[in-house]
Structure 1
């Protein structure tokens, strides 16, 4: 039997690795957006309330943020493909636990475990592509972006159909067979290309301090309306203390999770500040809008439509805005894009009923689809362009972490404000967006959403102002990797 040509074997490894990493990453991305569509059904089944719905989202987002950098470092130390497979298996086990959850506590715990697996598999996905595709890494990441974006377009709609026709539990259960396919592809595509290097820093202390800081502050914000200041103050103190401890540790330790030299790079702090504020706006917007639409009487399937135009906008327009940022600098597209999103969100102040949602809401979603791609690729490029080549990976991980933290803190803070506002407007209980509500309760729910809209729009306009003031207005002199900003993709907005 004639042996395979080495070129054929290398091509097989590349293609199988591409599909494995794209499918695995798509699962992790989708479990942010699809779950949002399913939140009202979960509330009906288990009785989550507003804080419980926030925690279903936040538990996953917190784990992702805490383990992004750790996952990449582990992959460099023990092997990228092995680490990727472990991440996929962990994600599948957590999905099964979440699907079978009998209570709120188990559901939230399963979501947290999903986040750990999702962080490990997504960080090793891009690294694995760079290794296997070598000089064609830009092409591979472009293909990976296209495949994951297509999944993002169809995923929320599919999730809505599953929730509406079967059960919200199958949204998680379907991950298990898809994870099996991912593992099979990853194993079949094994080559000799990736070996453990042991060069990356595995700063468990720094990573633990990041996790404690995020959990402490987030818990205090989410639970403050229900439990009161005295009950949550210790968690807030612990979160602040961990934040201070992280700064001290980073300055003193030899190889921290975030190198201090990176933080001193001109332009990097400004790019990440804009990322933080912009993703704070997007995180709260894309969480509360689908929930509000179901409050107005839309089905989960129709509520899932809110993710389709922005996802299509990213697929069609992000490369164009990325190329513009490469030639002319990121200031203009980010400032204009963020302001466009702010205007789009303000249109939702006119939405108080189903007919309003089809008109004003439709116009708002279409404007977001134009503004979002103007922000995503350029702001990622701005964060990476400020870093030297040998710190490009850490800079990318830092930017993804900042994006996640922005969403986490805004969901926690704006959610707490929403709980207060709902009670102040005459509502009762802990579910402002109960579809069965009527009279004063329903009016309070509408007023609460409009308060959320004002907060989100304010954050978007602040991001626009920060970009116009602090970001570069001229062509980037260099980028730290061979991948242009036309193919760059930051964390999913949700």
Structure 2
């Protein structure tokens, strides 16, 4: 691999073989992490029965992955800026594949949780690099279209996860939802090594912020434990540890010479606002998918495959409309799509309140997931382009890492907190009556988060596209 930054002559354009290769590698890599963020949800009921797991343990199967991903993704972005985005991306992909193998072979739920944490570490290395490779490899005028294509194709992995997971669970084994990553990783590495130009930040520091990474991990782990184990004797002490670790993290990042999270990046109001909006919207997105798929199986009597297939309209919307959402944002500015998108998603969530015991797919599920998908497709690419355009090109890895960390942290905290907040715990996820009562309250909470995200966008996001996104 080369270690020099891509110059103007090395940059690629949309529609060329080089451009397609960069988008393909970035999409396959980030798609694996997004797939594993959602594919597990549809298998949770079967995993719980097979490994005799409680709801708290199943939450950790989901959140163990999100925890290490969210807490280390900033470090992954910084490492990519320093050592080369392609290099770190490839290392992360290989790590992710090995951890996926461990997940697929796990003999008990405790081993599965540990393997999921390790899987998140690999995801933290490859995820920021996927988007930073696009930002660094494409000429400036083609970046919005490339990001739109990446957003649409990668987000399909999020939406198609329940479908793929359902098919594998029903017709093979839940273990295959992890083992399927091995061939995908092999193709990703081959394309990246062969066709993606190396880019890096020549001004990146030569020291690693180990203290910042450790404190970020401790803070997120402690707050996640406090939320999932609410009522446990250790929940309050865990909350205190989370607060202390967060305060220490902020202090360390302000003082160290080479911080994992450069505080100055948040001085840009647009960057900060876009990330607040990301936190709200992705918290709702993670919780909606978590509750909907389990509700369809436990209350509606759907098989794992049927529950996964139920979300296919979201996939269709992302496939055909996400790139158009990117074009719209580049043409009229990001404020409108980033405001209207979450509001449309909120409407879709309200429609999904109809899901219950006597669920009719065409009447109760299809309208809601379709409207939800339309809003998501409208919002994703303008949001991503706005975040990257608000940061200098040399901090593309960091900016991507921050936004991905915020998105994963939003899903992590929502999946940890909402079941407790709506009165769901222990083995109640398998009780149709208890789950159905909790489902309605959870959906209303998600709709509220989405509306708040739209309001934040309207008052804080620029009406016109930023220079880097044009």
TM range (shorter): 0.7 to 0.9
| Structure 1 CA distance for aligned equivalents of residues 22 and 396 of structure 2 | 22
Q: 1:388 to 1:184 in 2, by over 3 A?
A: closer
| Residue 284 of structure 1: how far off its partner (Å) | 0.8
Aligned: 1:374 with 2:378: yes
**Structure 2 residue ranges without an equivalent (≥5):** 1-8
The residue aligned with 1:479 is 467
Equivalent residues of 1:384, 1:479 under 8 A apart: no
- The residue correspondences of 1:146-157 to structure 2 (distance < 5 A) are 147-149=153-155, 151-152=157-158, 154-157=160-163
Equivalent residues of 1:14, 1:189 under 8 A apart: no
Cα RMSD for the two superposed structures? 2.9
| Residue 160 of structure 1: how far off its partner (Å) | 1.2
- Equivalent in 72, 80, 86 of residue 91 of structure 2: 86
- The residue correspondences of 1:133-212 to structure 2 (distance < 5 A) are 138=143, 141=147, 143-145=149-151, 147-149=153-155, 151-152=157-158, 154-189=160-195, 193=198, 197=202, 199-200=204-205, 202-212=208-218
- The residue correspondences of 1:20-35 to structure 2 (distance < 5 A) are 20-35=25-40
| Structure 1 CA distance for aligned equivalents of residues 433 and 149 of structure 2 | 46
Equivalent residues of 1:80, 1:196 under 8 A apart: no
Aligned: 1:122 with 2:118: no
Q: Which moved more, 1:256-265 or 1:231-240?
A: 256-265
| Residue 19 of structure 1: how far off its partner (Å) | 3.9
| Structure 1 CA distance for aligned equivalents of residues 93 and 399 of structure 2 | 24
| Residue 417 of structure 1: how far off its partner (Å) | 1.7
| Structure 2 CA distance for aligned equivalents of residues 342 and 51 of structure 1 | 27
| Structure 2 CA distance for aligned equivalents of residues 307 and 313 of structure 1 | 11
| Structure 2 CA distance for aligned equivalents of residues 214 and 181 of structure 1 | 33
The residue aligned with 2:60 is 55
Equivalent residues of 1:50, 1:430 under 8 A apart: yes
Equivalent residues of 1:383, 1:399 under 8 A apart: yes
Aligned: 1:397 with 2:401: yes
The residue aligned with 2:416 is 412
The residue aligned with 1:386 is 390
Q: Deviations over 1:38-58 (max 9, x none)?
A: 111101101222212211111
**Structure 1 residue ranges without an equivalent (≥5):** 1-6, 423-428, 485-494
Equivalent residues of 2:80, 2:397 under 8 A apart: no
| Residue 134 of structure 1: how far off its partner (Å) | 5.8
Equivalent residues of 1:77, 1:196 under 8 A apart: yes
The residue aligned with 1:36 is 41
Equivalent residues of 2:283, 2:412 under 8 A apart: yes
| Structure 2 CA distance for aligned equivalents of residues 453 and 389 of structure 1 | 38
The residue aligned with 1:319 is 323
| Structure 2 CA distance for aligned equivalents of residues 23 and 387 of structure 1 | 25
| Residue 455 of structure 1: how far off its partner (Å) | 1.4
Other structure's SS at 2:107 match:
coil
Aligned: 1:238 with 2:244: no
Q: Which moved more, 1:106-115 or 1:298-307?
A: 298-307
Equivalent residues of 1:350, 1:356 under 8 A apart: no
TM-score (norm 2): 0.87
Q: Deviations over 1:70-101 (max 9, x none)?
A: 12322343344432232122111111111111
| Structure 2 CA distance for aligned equivalents of residues 152 and 162 of structure 1 | 16
Q: Deviations over 1:338-365 (max 9, x none)?
A: 2222222122332222434541222111
Q: Deviations over 1:327-386 (max 9, x none)?
A: 443333233222222222122332222434541222111110121122222333343443
Equivalent residues of 1:16, 1:185 under 8 A apart: yes
| Structure 2 CA distance for aligned equivalents of residues 403 and 353 of structure 1 | 32
The residue aligned with 2:296 is 293
Other structure's SS at 2:269 match:
coil
Q: Which moved more, 1:208-217 or 1:308-317?
A: 308-317
| Residue 151 of structure 1: how far off its partner (Å) | 4.8
| Structure 2 CA distance for aligned equivalents of residues 155 and 361 of structure 1 | 17
Aligned: 1:462 with 2:467: no
| Structure 1 CA distance for aligned equivalents of residues 390 and 17 of structure 2 | 36
| Structure 1 CA distance for aligned equivalents of residues 151 and 372 of structure 2 | 20
The residue aligned with 1:251 is 254
TM-score (norm 1): 0.83
Larger radius of gyration: 1
The residue aligned with 2:6 is none
Residue correspondences, number? 455
